[in-house]
Chains A and B, each alone.
Chain A
Amino acid sequence: MKKVITAVILIFISFILQSTVFRALAIQGIVPNLLIILTACSGFMQGDRFGVFVGFFCGLLMDIFFFDIIGFYALLYMYIGYLNGFFHNIFYPDDIKLPLIMITVSDLLYSLTVYVLLFLLRSRFDFGYYFLNIILPELVYTIFVAVIFYPILLLISDIFRRAEKKKEE
């Protein structure tokens, strides 16, 4: 239960930060994707079940505030959370390589899906432009923020792991 409440608070904080503070800190109009970091991390830290739910609610918030078709981002984020859940078994907290790779892959997957479904299908064929000007800057900025954001998430998940261990004993 405590886990769920923490997750809800984290989703709220990430979303609010992403749409206010980071909007003000945007470089060339590009905002880092905090919600993808949160979704990916909950996937490989807590397992696929947790990733699915965190992803679903992150996406739903995006849908409600910024998109006219509700359900699109919810679906996308949910699958990303689920995919990250597969790596739960090979995730070790001390190793930062896997999390960064997973966040990179997740963000790329997200951007490419948005491009193909919402831009390519409206005959915006200039993939090179969109890749260099939107996908790549967002990726770099997101990884940069992830380096700061990830230890905080790790700390929170550590607290829960210790509490669980104590309970078992």
Chain B
Amino acid sequence: MSPLVRRKKERFRLPVKYWILILSSVCVLLMCLTFMTDFKFNTANYIVGYTIVPFQNGLSKVGGYLTEKAELVAQINDLLAENEALKQQVDELTIENTALMQDKYELNTLRELYSLDQQYSDYDKIGARIIMGGSNNWFDTFVINKGSNDGIQPNMNIMAGSGLVGRVVEVGPNWAQVISIIDDTSNVSATVLSTSDNLIVSGDLSTMENGYIRFSQLVDEDDKVVVGDKVVTSDISDRYQPGILIGYVSYIEEDSNNLTKSGYITPAVDFKHLSEVLVITELKQTID
């Protein structure tokens, strides 16, 4: 036996201030990298994609199921009354419908003549489910359950129903982060459909509570743009496909410079009750 008694090895621990220093510099480095270059933190995206996202997928499904069931019970009474009213309405509408059908055939032939049917119905789209809302009260971002495995790339446009929701910012293997157009930092170049005047639509946290987002820099010398006009994404935007409905003008005022106008837009999408969205799998053509 050796005379030396083997002492339990003292574990070396780096003092906490050095850890702070190291982690701070890592953070600052990452911030600079992600802010100034196109650097994507891919390893982390993969790790969280296969650890956290599956849970969220499951939980959001359970949550959706529960809210559905709860709403079902609460709504049965309302539904019965509504059913009566609706039956009456169906009769009225059937009569109206026949008249409208005739108009529609006429419209279709006219559209073909003007080749106006190039609406966004011909973009390729895939459906996706929202699995996480932003866990932050300051920004309107969310995560969907499709990622690079499904062919999703950054800057693809997101729609819900007939309106624009936002665009993809970051992509993991089975998830993608979406920034919505109502986010405080989001700006979209848009056009008023009736007059083809360009404007900038920017999200605003403080007005979104009342259901509006802001627009600005509308040049409209002849006062042709009126409340209720449709606003769609413009041809000159480098991230958004042209002609997607954003919303309707709900308030206009003249800026103090007397040249441009600004005001509010009511978005076409109900951002409070989003659960499924469509991803347009075409990227806007840009010159690189």
Contacts and interface: CB of A to CB of B under 8 A. Distances in A.
Contact of B34 (A31, A70, A129, A138): A70
Given A31-B137, A118-B138, A65 B48 contact: yes
Contacts of B35: 69
A69 B134 CA distance: 15
B116 to A, nearest CB: 37
Majority secondary structure, A binding face: helix
The bracket for how many chain B residues form the interface is 35 or more
B24 interface: yes
Given A24-B67, A134-B138, 16 more contacts: A49-B13, A49-B19, A52-B16, A56-B23, A64-B41, A65-B132, A66-B134, A66-B135, A66-B139, A66-B141, A70-B33, A70-B34, A75-B31, A124-B184, A130-B206, A133-B206
A15 interface: yes
A53 B16 CA distance: 10
Nearest to A20: B59
B59 A29 contact: no
Interface stretch (B50-58, B99-107, B234-242, B243-251): B50-58
A135 to B, nearest CB: 8
Contact of A66 (B20, B24, B30, B136): B136
Interface of B: 13, 16, 19-20, 23-24, 26-31, 33-35, 41, 44-45, 48, 51-52, 55-56, 59-60, 63, 67, 131-139, 141, 143, 169-170, 175, 177, 179, 184-185, 205-206, 209, 272
B131 A20 contact: yes
A78 interface: yes
A160 interface: no
Contact of B16 (A19, A31, A48, A62): A48
B63 A16 contact: no
A62 B136 CA distance: 9
Contacts of A124: 184, 205-206
A27 to B, nearest CB: 11
Contact of A19 (B19, B134, B138, B139): B134
The bracket for how many chain A residues form the interface is 35 or more
B135 A52 contact: no
Interface string A128-145: 011001100110000000
A52 B20 CA distance: 7
Contacts of A122: 184-185
A71 B184 contact: no
Contacts of B59: 16, 20-21
Contact of B31 (A19, A70, A119): A70
A70 B135 contact: no
Interface of A: 12, 15-16, 18-24, 26, 29-31, 35, 48-49, 52-53, 56, 60-62, 64-72, 74-75, 78-79, 82, 85, 114-115, 118-119, 122, 124, 126, 129-130, 133-134, 137-138
Given A64-B41, A70-B41, A130-B206, A114 B138 contact: yes
Given A24-B67, A72-B31, A52 B136 contact: no
Contacts of A82: 16, 20
Contact of B209 (A20, A26, A78, A133): A133
B136 to A, nearest CB: 6
Contacts of A35: 135
B173 to A, nearest CB: 13
A71 B31 contact: yes
Contacts of A69: 31, 34-35
B138 A23 contact: no
A115 B132 CA distance: 23
9 contacts: A12-B52, A12-B55, A19-B134, A22-B135, A23-B134, A61-B52, A62-B135, A75-B27, A119-B138
B20 to A, nearest CB: 6
A118 B56 CA distance: 28
Contacts of B52: 12, 15-16, 61
Contacts of A133: 206, 209
A52 B23 contact: yes
Contacts of A19: 56, 132-135, 143
